[in-house]
Structure 1
Amino acid sequence: MSAPVAPAAPAGATRHAVRLGLRRGWTEFLLSVRSPQDQGFYLFTAVVSVGYLWLNRDGEVEGTTLSFPTVALPSVLAALAAFGVFMGPVFALAMEREDGTLLRHKAVPHGMQGCVTGQLVLHALSAVPQLLVVLVPSWLLFDGLVRTGAGGWLVLAGVVVLGMAALLPWGMVVGALVPSTQKAGTWGMLPVLVVVGISGVFVPLQQMWGWLQAVAQVFPVYWLGLGLRSAVLPDAAAALEVGGSWRTGTTVAVLGAWCVVGLLVAPPVLRRMARRQSGSQVQAARDAALQWVR
């Protein structure tokens, strides 16, 4: 006689868990934007980024008639988006694993689905004010910022959304793998710093060695920056890029591929993390954190 098959989880229960996750993500986002600490972070981001562009407002990119703020702004936005949507989940999952939040989610039916949904919503929404506090003042201060008009704004928004979709799942993966919040910086911050550094965000890709250019074009950060430049800069500026064009189709394909692969990799990694979560692990993590503080 064959073993009984466990009944499939009701679709309604899954939908309910996702709805709770959406609500949780939205609520945590509202709490975040009202937090003085996060408001101070947004203000700091705006002052540093816009101040840097303002100090170089009279400069022109060598060999072109383009102003420095116009060319630098897409790189600033790409770097902010990459750090925000990648490092946010890394630290959040590491902290929730140590404080027992993930263990509580695990004890609730479909709790992990709600947890993951909430994290995705929270960090996707949190990137919006971080970008707006730089983009809106820059638009008001610098003439001709988005030279392609309404179409350029639509492209910019679409690239940001696609870039976040490509990076968020990988932030969840790394967050599930880091052993502790103390090591989240090493596991997450250092790799993303390296990737951003070689992706043409701060230094034009053409000025790097050929093999480094090839490596940079494997990762989504380069394509995020390229897509944002295509939205902000005039068509003639495409001649400054690798291949002499914006490569819009390739940008969409690469970012989409990173998104799809990330969505395939993240669930089993998160399930493995949930299976290994136990009360003894939470207590051990708390004890390690106390030792680290001391």
Structure 2
Amino acid sequence: MSTRESGAGGRMFAVRLGVDRGLREFRHTLGSPDQLFNVFTTIGFMLVLWFQRDTAVEGTGLALAAFTLPSMLGMGVAFSGLVGPAGQLSTNREDGTLLRAKAVPNGMVGYLVARLVQLALDGGFSLVVLLVPAALLVDVFGHTGVGGVLGLLAVLVLGALATLPWGAVAGSITKSPGGAMGITMLPMMGVAAISGIFYPITALPGWLQALGQVFPVYWIGLGARSALLPDAAAAAEIGGTWRTPAVIAVLATWAVVGFLLAPTILRRMARRESGADMERRRQAALQRGGV
């Protein structure tokens, strides 16, 4: 067998191991205390929808909750895509998982595949947990058919691609899980507030509308609304249209730039990993925990 074939076979084996590991880690997370976060988040979103169910959006004939639900789905994808990989990468650097992956042939390939599989399943599970009870409060699927559902899936997948590499970048440049959360979670909350998630963006001042459109959160939410809501609902959007070509173009740009940038940063981060660095981070984590 040639070296090239052996290398290709080794990478495929690493991919299979990565898929298996991602599936096993996802099953493990289902029983972890972290799932309480999904429960509390879902309860919070249900309360928002409950209070919005009788408030109509002018010019559309729809309840505000009908606009908020697809926006929440988009926001969930953006949060999972950015915060998830940032937290995991920084944690895996601290506990030595990344260093062990680096030490074996094609270990980084298997590691990255495992992370992608787990994050995709985590994100899908979180969306289902939100969508099932929310559909009982808001009849968004009554306005769409199979095409709308497929459109929603396409937008959510594109939204995940637009945010995942940036989450990996954030996890690569921070030195601790707390730092990763600090540069992802807090900014994302601010971005969500100006992205038309909980109220049409047209109600905001013009400069905030312009700022909100810079980030992918707004475009994921807009794409989700266009998939699930009737055409009349576009009256509440900027320009009175869904701007589907712009949704695709902006999210694709974020995805392409992210996937061009992230591998380089990840490789540099992996090359710098050493046992001494891992031990320093471990000691710092023990001190933060008061051990």
My pick for the range that moved more, 17-26 or 43-52, is 43-52
Query: Equivalents in 1 of 2:39, 2:254: separation in Å?
Result: 31
Residue 23 (str. 1) matches residue 20 (str. 2): yes
Counterpart in the other structure of 2:147: 151
Query: Equivalents in 2 of 1:7, 1:150: separation in Å?
Result: 45
Candidates 28, 32, 45, aligned match of 2:29:
32
Deviations 1:2-58 (A, max 9, x none): xxxx9897211122212211221111112112x141443332232221232123322
Correspondence list, 1:222-237, <5 A: 222-237=218-233
Query: Equivalents in 2 of 1:159, 1:7: separation in Å?
Result: 37
Residue 104 (str. 1) matches residue 100 (str. 2): yes
Query: Equivalents in 1 of 2:44, 2:196: separation in Å?
Result: 20
Counterpart in the other structure of 2:170: 174
Counterpart in the other structure of 1:279: 275
Secondary structure of residue in 2 paired with 1:10? helix
Candidates 127, 141, 164, aligned match of 2:160:
164
Query: Equivalents in 2 of 1:204, 1:141: separation in Å?
Result: 19
Secondary structure of residue in 2 paired with 1:202? coil
Query: Equivalents in 2 of 1:156, 1:138: separation in Å?
Result: 16
Secondary structure of residue in 2 paired with 1:109? coil
Normalising by structure 2, what TM-score?
A: 0.92
- Contact 2:195–2:201, Cα closer than 8 Å, also in 1: yes
Counterpart in the other structure of 1:79: 75
Residue 119 (str. 1) matches residue 103 (str. 2): no
Counterpart in the other structure of 1:3: none
Counterpart in the other structure of 2:203: 207
**How far apart are 1:290 and its partner, in Å?**
1.8
Query: Equivalents in 1 of 2:183, 2:139: separation in Å?
Result: 40
Counterpart in the other structure of 2:214: 218
Secondary structure of residue in 1 paired with 2:232? helix
Residue 186 (str. 1) matches residue 182 (str. 2): yes
Deviations 1:192-231 (A, max 9, x none): 2232222222343223333332232222111100001101
Secondary structure of residue in 1 paired with 2:269? helix
- Contact 2:159–2:216, Cα closer than 8 Å, also in 1: yes
Query: Equivalents in 1 of 2:26, 2:259: separation in Å?
Result: 22
Q: Structure 1: give runs of 5+ residues left out of the alignment.
A: 1-5
Secondary structure of residue in 2 paired with 1:37? coil
**How far apart are 1:145 and its partner, in Å?**
4.1
Give the aligned residue type for 1:88: G
- Contact 1:89–1:172, Cα closer than 8 Å, also in 2: yes
- Contact 2:197–2:221, Cα closer than 8 Å, also in 1: yes
Correspondence list, 1:242-261, <5 A: 242-261=238-257
Normalising by structure 1, what TM-score?
A: 0.91
Counterpart in the other structure of 1:66: 62
Secondary structure of residue in 2 paired with 1:121? helix
Counterpart in the other structure of 1:135: 131
My pick for the range that moved more, 137-146 or 179-188, is 137-146
Query: Equivalents in 1 of 2:14, 2:157: separation in Å?
Result: 24
- Contact 1:70–1:145, Cα closer than 8 Å, also in 2: no
**How far apart are 1:144 and its partner, in Å?**
4.7
The structure-2 alpha-carbon separation of the partners of 1:249 and 1:70, relative to structure 1 and needing over 3 Å to count, comes to same
Counterpart in the other structure of 2:90: 94
Deviations 1:124-163 (A, max 9, x none): 1101111111212222333354402222111111111111
**How far apart are 1:280 and its partner, in Å?**
0.5
Q: How many residues align?
A: 288
Give the aligned residue type for 1:122: Q
Query: Equivalents in 1 of 2:168, 2:6: separation in Å?
Result: 24
- Contact 1:45–1:130, Cα closer than 8 Å, also in 2: no
Deviations 1:84-136 (A, max 9, x none): 22111111111100111111001001111111111111111101111111212
Counterpart in the other structure of 1:240: 236
Q: Structure 2: give runs of 5+ residues left out of the alignment.
A: none
Give the aligned residue type for 2:38: Y
- Contact 2:75–2:220, Cα closer than 8 Å, also in 1: no
My pick for the range that moved more, 67-76 or 163-172, is 67-76
Query: Equivalents in 2 of 1:55, 1:207: separation in Å?
Result: 18
Give the aligned residue type for 1:169: P
